[in-house]
Amino acid sequence: MKIRVLGAYGAEGLAQRPSAFLVNDTILIDGGTVGGALASSEQIVIEHALISHSHLDHIAGLAFLTETLALCEAPKPLTISSLEPVVKALRTAVFNDTLWPDFSLLPTPRNPIVKYRTLLEETESPVGDLWVTPVAVNHTVPCSGFVVHDETSGIVYSGDTGPTDALWKAAGRLKTLRAVILECAFPNRMQPLAEVAKHMTPNLIRRELDKLPGDVPVLIYHVKPQFHDEIGEELGEIAGHRISFLEQDRSYAF
């Protein structure tokens, strides 16, 4: 499984793009940025988007991608897959003809550029050449992490979450787990805000590590750009080489 990091951050900064990951060239996991990291020729081969939740730092690039797809010479539909409340939020709050066009009806209702697919919680479904299990996590809006695998390897993606148990239990059942991609938004001094906004800090991650399977590598994404260095120092104090930042623009093979 190949994962290209299109955006590694929990917001936007100079050359720091919001969260988005491209798996095997055709499947997005979140879409905070797409066109900021991919040429048009790379965007138009994307077939699926797994969306953790409806916050802008996970879908802003998805909106622009739908327009790019709609305007390309031979448009192919993009299937957006998520839990039911997330699909509902995307339909009613984003692709609603007010914030952005309803591409589930365009260019024609019979052949739309966006198709929605509702995934069942904690149920494995095929998405492209992957198997995907969404697991609800602990955020301010409905949000899921994803357990993702192919024939040979798998990863767990946390989505946005504060401390959680269900995702780590699901991770423990995946025998081919190669990495955990885990969010961290704020430094330790901002834990009160992290608890309200339901995000991780390095201290909260320290407690989560005990729930994670074995010594699987933990790759951190979603730091708020202005706290990158501070969070890096705090993470360095807790877990040695097991934990590291996921690097934007790098491709990982699992």
Residue among 127, 49, 39 nearest 87 (CA): 49
Question: Quick one: which of 4, 17, 48, 55 contacts Zn ion (CB under 5 A)?
Answer: 55
Interaction between residue 57 and Zn ion (CB under 5 A)? yes
Site map 21..50 versus Zn ion, x via CB under 5 A: ------------------------------
Structure tokens at 125: 């479904």
> Count of residues binding Zn ion (CB under 5 A)?
4
- Which of 22, 113 has the CB closer to Zn ion? 22
- Which of 160, 234 has the CB closer to Zn ion? 160
Instruction: Indicate if the alpha-carbon torsion angle 189, 195, 197, 200 is positive or negative.
Output: positive
Question: Quick one: which of 49, 148, 160, 186 contacts Zn ion (CB under 5 A)?
Answer: 160
Interaction between residue 199 and Zn ion (CB under 5 A)? no
How does DSSP classify residue 50?
A: E
Non-local CB neighbours of 132 within 8 Å, separated by 6+ positions: 50, 81, 119, 124, 125, 126, 146, 147, 148
**Span from 51-59, 103-111, 148-156, 228-236 in contact with Zn ion (CB under 5 A):** 51-59
Residue type, 56: L
Distance of closest approach, residue 161 Cβ to Zn ion, in angstroms? 9
Non-local CB neighbours of 133 within 8 Å, separated by 6+ positions: 122, 123, 124, 125, 146, 147, 148, 170
**Span from 54-62, 125-133, 149-157, 237-245 in contact with Zn ion (CB under 5 A):** 54-62
Q: Which residues of the shown chain bind Zn ion in the complex (CB under 5 A)?
A: 10, 55, 57, 160
